[in-house]
Each structure stands twice: as C-alpha cells, then as structure tokens.
Amino acid sequence: MNQQALSITLFVLFVAATIGITFWASKNTKTAADYYAGGRSFSGVQNGLAIGGDYMSAASFLGIAGIIALYGYDGFLYSIGFLVAWLVALLLVAELMRNSGKFTMADVLAFRMSPRPVRTAAGVSTITVSIFYLLAQMVGAGALVGLLFGITGEAAKAGTIAVVGLLMIIYVVFGGMKGTTWVQIVKAVLLMSGAALITLLVLGKYGFNLSSLLGTAAEQSGKGEAFLNPGGRYATEEQGFVGLLDLISLGLALVLGTAGLPHILIRFYTVPTAKEARKSVNWGIGIIGTFYLLTLVLGFGAAALVGSDAIREQNAAGNTAAPQLAQAAGELIFGEVGGTILLAIIAAVAFATILAVVAGLTLASSSSFAHDLYAHVFKRGNVTERQEMVVARIAAFVIGIAAIGLGILAQGLNVAFLVALAFAVAASGNLPAILYSLFWKRFNTSGAVWAIYGGLISAVVLVIFSPVGSGKATSLFPNVDFHWFPLENPGIVSIPLGFLCGYLGTILSKEYNAQKFAEIEVRSLTGAGSEKASIH
Amino acid sequence: MTTRQHDTTIYEQIQASPRFQELRRKFRSWTFPATVAFLAWYLLYVVLSGIARDFMSAKVIGNINVALIFGILQFVSTFLIAWAYSRHAAKELDPIADELRHEVEGKSA
C-alpha cells in the first residue's frame, strides 16, 4: 500500500469514528443546553483535552513547525505567546464567565446592559472573528491536500475543501457541542501522540542531546548560528524599528487574543462548575504547553533532517515541514516503509486537526447567530428553545456552505494573516468588553458597544491598509499599493484603542445599573444562580 | 443609578457584606498583580528578543543560548502561575464562594 492510500484509509477511519460519535451525540442532544454547551456535563479533564483540540490548529501544528524549520528560533515566539495567553483566560475570564454566562460570549456582556445593541455588537464580532479563522483553516486544508495525498489540480483542492466543510457541517448540525467536543478530544489525543512519537524519534536520533540537534539544524539551515538566535523572521535588521514595533504588536495580540476568542470562550460553558472550568484550563495549559515544546523539536528536527531547502521546495511557507520530518524520521529508523507509514499517520492527523478546529468555529458562529442575533435581537426573546435550536442548525449549515464557497474562491490568495487578524480583533474588541463587564462597576451599554466596534473596526481597517493588504508580493492584493499603516500586526494600536473606546463610551453615557452589577459580581465570584449541568 | 425605588436585592445585600468584600479582595489582590507580573515578564522576553540580540544569542551550554532558556522559562513560569493560582483559589476563594453561594441560593429558593 502506498502512502496516499494509507493516509486516506487512516483518515476514513477517523471520519467513521467521529461520525459514529456524532450520531450518538445527536441522540443525546435534546435541549438548548445540550446543543450549545454539551449539557454542561463534561469533566474538567475532558474539557481540558477539548480545549487543546480546539486551540491547536493546523496553523500552530504545521505553521509553527514550518516557521521554525525555515526561520529558526523566531517560530518559538509564536508558541510562547499562544501559551502565556492562557493565563489571562485562567486568572480573569474562565471561571467568572462560567458562572455568569449561558451559551455565548454575549450572554456575559448583555447581562447588565441593554441587550439588543450589545448582543448585536457581540454577535457581529463573534461571527466575524470565527469566519476569519475558519477561512484560514479551509484554505490551508486545500493547500495541504496536494502535498499530503499526492493529488494536484484546482478541482482536487476544491474537492478537499468541500469534504472538510461537509464533515464539519455534519459534526455541528447533528452533534452540536457534544459531538464537536468529542471530535476535539479524539483529535487532541491523536495529535499529541503523533507529535510525541516524532519528537522521540528525532531526539533519539541525536542521542537525546538537544544541543547536538540544534547544532545540526543550524548547519543544515544554511544560516549557521544565526538560525538559533532571534531575528530570523521578526524584527530583522532590514526592518529596523518598524520591525521591532511589529514584533511587539504581534506579541500583544497573541497574548491578549486567546481570552477573547468566541470559540474558546464557549468551551467554559461545557463543564458543570467554575471549579471544573479552572481544572479544564489547567489541563489545557498542560497539554498546549507540552505540545509547543514538542513543536520546537519538530521544527528544528525538520531543519536538521529534511533541510530548509527541501522544505521550501515543497511549500514556500514551510507548512509541510512536520509531515516531511515524519517521513524522514520514519525512514531513518524503520526504513522506507516506516517513512511511508509515519507520513501517512501525520497527514491523517493534520486533517483531523483541521476538522476539529473548523467544527469548533462553526459551532461558535452559528450559536451566536441563533442565540444572540435571532432569538434576542430579531425576535426580542420571543422564541421557544426548539425554534432557536432549529435556527442554530440552519445557521451552522449556511455558515458551513459559505465557508466552503469562500474557501474555494480564496484558494489563490494569501490568507494566512487571517488567524493573526482574528487574534487582534479578539484582543482589541472582545477582551476589553469582557474585562470591563466583569470588573468595572460603571461600565454600560454604550461602553460595550464602543469597545467591540472600536476594536473590531480599527483592527480590520489597519490590516487592510497595511503591507498585508497591498504593496508587497505576499500581500492580499499584490498588484496595487494603497497601504499607509506600516505594521503588519495592528494590535499595538487597536488594543489600546479598543480599551479607550470602551472607557470613553462608558463615561459619555449616564446609564448604569448598580443592581445588575451587584448580581453579576456576586454571581461571577460565587457561582450563585449559575447555570446547572443537565441530567439525562 | 436606577431612579426607581427598590428594595435591595439579595445580590446587593451579599455584595455589601464583609464576607463578600473579603472574597473580592482575596481574588483581586492575587489575580491582578499576577496578571501585571506575567504580562510584564512576557513583554520583557518579546522586547529583548527584538533588541538585545547579543545578549539573547549568548551561548550557555553547547548550542543552547539565552533566548532558548528565556523561552523555556516562560513555559515554566506559566505552569507555576497556573499551579499557584489554583492552590490559592482552592484554599482561599472556594470556601468563601461556596458559603456565599449557599446563602444566596437558600434565600432565593
């Protein structure tokens, strides 16, 4: 059996297992709490794994390993930002949200505000952030297929995107949060096992001597010692001061974005209590941290064993570094067959990774559409739970189909920046609104609306008019130049601006509700009156 | 302020109680300084990666340089803060939170 056939077989096995789980989950999804929050009955450990499965996207698995393999040390900067970010979620957000919210991010924001404007803003932001992130994953899936399954041509790429999209629709429409969570748990276990296996093989090859692995990586990279030092990718000497600002800007968006990503926030609702939410974030931190330490070995291992040139030849962005390393490591130790098998495994794991993440994003955006926009804004709360769930499923279907269409149309475009943009919007709009809501007595409707729109609009506008938008060969529109904002990452401007908008919007409006603040403050810190787990 | 006269709700009574004030103080006096500290420590790492190239590139053991150790220390500090917070929460916050939750749910039931 060749590698492609084996990859496809493994992938089909994963799909069969997850469809089975989805079918089981659909029979146990009766109420809105089941559909949106998995009945709040997952344990801290299960949700911790699912957090890992939801968060470790193809961008972090393939992308970071690729950046390290091509540019050396600087890829590690990404990993660290992605990990430290979880402390914001643990210390300030996870437990308090679990105690005061219900199904979506907007539940917490709308708690003591005028619900319609706040839910509209939060819904728009949730859907925008999730769709940016979703598109990046879909386009990535299309690009991967040619490399991993040996299929080429535009039709094959479009076909892959359609398959990924249809599977994610099935998981979300039928399985809801229960199905999606289990897909993420299975994926997290597979991804961790795959990454740990290759790491062991690579380290074993270098006698478990990290220094000798690094030395070979530096040699093979063609960059020498500089490969192990910061500055290969960010804030390089040619970029000068602008490069430094861009690096800090990226660092800020990474560390502050996670706790504002809607698909991450809704994970905190899937456990019965705030204590379990804390436990799940702790497990998430352990899993994600371990994973990023493994990616460090994978990245340098790919540079050492495959070589930067061979990686660049396959994929200019380095996205195939990890699969190529799997093949090389397998070959070294078990011969050609071993290489084929390992490549097949990692290719299948990469697809499982994409599927679990896109399902989480589709669920977050369709939940927000149904619960925030449809039920509370359009219908002003006059809907039955049943109607709301029907709308949630239709929304998941429509968003899925739209994501397939946009993903196919965007094939030729460079959309990798969309993940960084999603983090920037989350950090600039959602995080200020959430933190002010939970901690600032005076905060009000106008402040929440200003914070969300201010952060969202400034981040998006700055990126459009940055070198990411136009003026460079790698831009979204490479043939024109209308950029005036020098940085590729908007965070350093848009994050303070989002917080400032929230502040100004608040003090410029007289409204504020002391009674409701007492309620959210007491509820968030004590868990009194919080939503209970459903029992079947 | 709401202009309508109202009896104070159970939440307002709890919020004003010394026990709740203690819970809030114990929560904020731990998490707020810790957040400032880990963000500053992280930004120090990012900024040094951008400007202190010679320092970060200095070798410590074999090919392992300051930048790599500094990066790994960010992992270590993240794990330690998560552990320390969870310990603090279990010891100092959870008992008061449970007590107040029962009080609210007892009165509103």
pLDDT tens string, chain A, 536 residues long: the values are 677 788 888 889 999 999 999 999 999 999 999 999 999 999 999 999 999 999 998 877 888 999 999 999 999 999 999 999 999 999 999 999 999 999 999 999 998 999 999 999 999 999 999 999 999 888 888 777 766 776 777 888 888 899 999 999 999 999 999 999 999 999 999 999 999 999 999 999 999 999 999 999 999 998 999 999 998 888 888 888 899 999 999 999 999 999 999 999 999 999 999 999 999 999 999 999 999 999 999 999 999 999 988 998 888 878 889 999 999 999 988 888 889 889 888 888 888 899 999 999 999 999 999 999 999 999 999 999 999 999 999 999 999 999 999 999 888 777 778 888 999 999 999 999 999 999 999 999 999 999 999 999 999 999 999 998 888 888 888 889 999 999 999 999 999 999 999 999 999 999 988 999 999 999 999 999 898 887 65
Question: B57: which chain A residues are within 8 Å (Cβ-Cβ)?
Answer: 225, 228-230
For A368, A490, B42, B85, B88, the CA distances from B39, given in Å and listed in that order, are 30, 19, 5, 15, 20
Looking at chain B, the number of H-run helices and the number of E-run strands are: 5, 2
Cβ separation of A228 and B63 shorter than 8 Å? yes
Amino acid at A264: I
- pLDDT band of B6, cuts 50, 70, 90: low
CB contacts < 8 A (A, B) = 170
Residue spans of the domains in chain B: they are 19-108
Q: Cα distance from B109 to chain A (closest Cα, Å)?
A: 10
Whether residue A175 contacts residue A25, with contact meaning beta carbons closer than 8 Å, is answered with yes
* B43 → closest Cβ in A251, A279, A513: A251
A153 CB neighbour count, 10 Å cutoff: 9
Cβ separation of B14 and A286 shorter than 8 Å? no
Handedness of CA A322, A328, A331, A332 (dihedral sign): negative
Minimum Cα–Cα distance from A250: chain B residue: B46
d(CA A98, CA A382): 25
Cβ separation of B78 and A289 shorter than 8 Å? yes
Cβ separation of A522 and B62 shorter than 8 Å? no
Amino acid at A265: L
* B100 → closest Cβ in A84, A243, A526: A526
What's the pLDDT at B109?
A: 52
What's the pLDDT at A1?
A: 60
Q: Cα distance from A231 to chain B (closest Cα, Å)?
A: 7
Cβ separation of B97 and A83 shorter than 8 Å? no
Residue B2: pLDDT above 50?
A: no
Does B92 touch chain A if contact means CB atoms closer than 8 Å?
no
What's the pLDDT at A535?
A: 67
Does A229 touch chain B if contact means CB atoms closer than 8 Å?
yes
Q: Is A244 left (phi over 0), alpha (psi -120 to 50) or beta?
A: alpha
Amino acid at B107: K
d(CA A438, CA A201): 47
Backbone angles phi, psi at B64, to 5 degrees: -85, 120
Quote the tokens at residue A410: 């965007």
Minimum Cα–Cα distance from A290: chain B residue: B75
3-state SS assignment for residue B61:
strand
Helix A115-149 vs helix A321-368: crossing angle, to nearest 10: 150
Chain centroid to Cα A202, Å, comes to 27
Give the pTM: 0.94
Cβ separation of A247 and B42 shorter than 8 Å? no
Which residues between 61 and 120 in chain A have a beta carbon less than 8 angstroms from any beta carbon of chain B?
73-74, 76-77, 80-81, 83-84, 86-88, 90-92, 95
Residue spans of the domains in chain A: they are 3-109+117-151+173-526
Minimum Cα–Cα distance from B7: chain A residue: A515
Chain centroid to Cα A383, Å, comes to 31
Q: Which CATH number fits domain A3-109+117-151+173-526: 3.40.640.10, 1.10.10.10, 3.50.50.60, 1.20.1730.10?
A: 1.20.1730.10
Question: A514: which chain B residues are within 8 Å (Cβ-Cβ)?
Answer: 1-2, 12
What's the pLDDT at A117?
A: 96
Question: A528: which chain B residues are within 8 Å (Cβ-Cβ)?
Answer: 11, 14, 100-101, 103-105
Q: Is A527 left (phi over 0), alpha (psi -120 to 50) or beta?
A: left
Short-list A179, A12, A127, A137, CA closest to A418: A137
CA angle A356, B81, A262 (to 5 degrees): 30
d(CA A518, CA B9): 9
Amino acid at A143: A
Q: Cα distance from A407 to chain B (closest Cα, Å)?
A: 33
Q: Give the number of residues written for chain B.
A: 109
Cα torsion for A65, A411, A176, A99, to the nearest 10°? 60
Question: B101: which chain A residues are within 8 Å (Cβ-Cβ)?
Answer: 526-528
Q: Cα distance from B106 to chain A (closest Cα, Å)?
A: 10
Residues in a beta bridge with B64: B61
Does B106 touch chain A if contact means CB atoms closer than 8 Å?
no
Short-list A408, A386, A421, CA closest to A166: A408
Residue to substitute from B8, B11, B96, interface A, most A β-carbons within 10 A: B11
What's the pLDDT at A379?
A: 93
Number of Cα atoms under 13 Å in the Cβ half of residue B64:
14
